[in-house]
A = this chain, B = another copy of it.
Amino acid sequence: MLMSVSALAQQALFNTQNLTSPEINKDGTVTFRVAAPKAVKVELTGDFLSKPVEMKEQRGVWTYTTPVLGPELYSYQFKVDGLDYLDPSNVYRNRDIVSFTNMFIISKEKGDCGDMYSVNNVPHGNVNRVWYDSPTLGTQRRMTIYTPPTYEKGGSYPVLYLLHGAGGDEEAWVTLGRAAQIMDNLIAQGKAKPMIVVMSNGNANCDAAPGEWHKGFYKPSFMSHSESPAKATTEEAYKDVMSYVEKHYRVQKGKNNTAICGLSMGGFHTYAISKLYPGKFGYVGLFSAALNMGGGNTPVDQQIANDKTISKQFKTLFSAKNKPNLYWIGIGKTDFLFQQNVGLRKYMDANNYPYEYYETEDGHIWKNWRNYLIVFSQKIFK
């Protein structure tokens, strides 16, 4: 009966195309299609291609079929006569600073990474966008909080603080990072403890993701969120995040129940916050961490050794009382930050500060960070 009201579409201003794209074929290849009858050249670009490929045209529809692709969440877009062009047949899109890409997921079997990134028929946690007061920064700020599927039934839970990179915001881990799906799936499979995941905004000079705070619909640019500098650093202000969470959520306290990890700039924040609040975090995860934040050519191990404040912080962090149960360092072999992490490990080795090291293929990309979250989150609170 409801089908008779097909005229009731919400305001639909524009036409759409009736193509299927991407089509994930039974043989594991993927076919892309886009109608561009007047175009001279249409290319496909994506993180599964080493360089853009030319698509073939027939009756105005351009097509390309990939080789067999392995399990992963992939990003792509078209280039039509030189213009970046999103696939109008695919509504699934992610933003990274000012760039949008289409996405699709390949999963071959239960438990592979594509499966972990998918919304499966398992109990789901809630994802809340929460405003909190930051007295340290003097602003009201926004963060994203995942509560595990059983949270509504009661009980208290350990907390993972999960930090984004430069260019990201409090939306990055639940969009590009698929954090809610990863946690839902790991918890459903009994591989991770049910936990609260707090995804705060690491840009101290803004309140929230672009468009979500009172600066309005500005054009995002890399790390330039506001004309006025912040009153404090992200690590100094992090006590405000933790105190809000501990006050408003049913949290298991103590270092055995508290973890922090982050990617790139968020890896730096993880490094800095864990040192600034020694004994707070039992589990510390650096994902492709940016460690040479001051710039310059001095290797990171020498920078730390030469800096009395930092080396003293390290000593306090790794004292018998405060020592993390796990200090985890993950990085890809071709990451441009690889040598900085070599430096950190060199310093830690020299001082007998224990850590676990996880090296992967590839570089400074979300494929690695999603993987690191899967690996790290199974190691904590156990």
Contacts and interface: CB of A to CB of B under 8 A. Distances in A.
Nearest to A177: B10
A6 B223 contact: yes
Interface in A80-101: 80-86, 88-93, 95-101
Interface in A1-15: 1-15
A135 interface: no
**9 shortest A-B CB distances, which residue pairs?**
A128-B128, A4-B295, A121-B214, A8-B166, A124-B131, A38-B81, A10-B167, A9-B167, A11-B365
Interface of A: 1-16, 20, 36-40, 45-47, 75, 77, 80-86, 88-93, 95-101, 103-105, 118-121, 123-131, 140, 142, 149, 152, 164-168, 172, 176, 210-214, 216-217, 219-220, 222-223, 248, 263-265, 290, 293-295, 336, 364-366
A142 B265 CA distance: 33
Contact of A290 (B8, B149, B167): B8
A14 B86 contact: no
A169 B128 CA distance: 18
Number of copies of this kind of chain in the complex: 2
Contacts of A47: 11, 13
Given A12-B96, A86-B86, A128 B129 contact: yes
Contacts of A104: 217
A85 B100 CA distance: 13
A164 B9 CA distance: 11
Given A38-B82, A120-B214, 4 more contacts: A3-B223, A16-B99, A89-B219, A126-B128
A10 B45 contact: no
17 contacts: A5-B166, A6-B222, A8-B264, A8-B265, A13-B47, A13-B75, A14-B99, A36-B83, A89-B98, A90-B219, A91-B211, A119-B213, A119-B214, A124-B140, A125-B131, A126-B128, A126-B129
A161 B124 CA distance: 22
Q: Which of A3, A16, A75 has the most CB of B within 10 A?
A: A16
B10 A168 contact: yes
B88 A293 contact: no
B80 A83 contact: yes
A69 to B, nearest CB: 15
Nearest to A364: B11
Nearest to A107: B216
B212 A119 contact: yes
Contacts of A220: 91
Contact of A15 (B46, B84, B213): B84
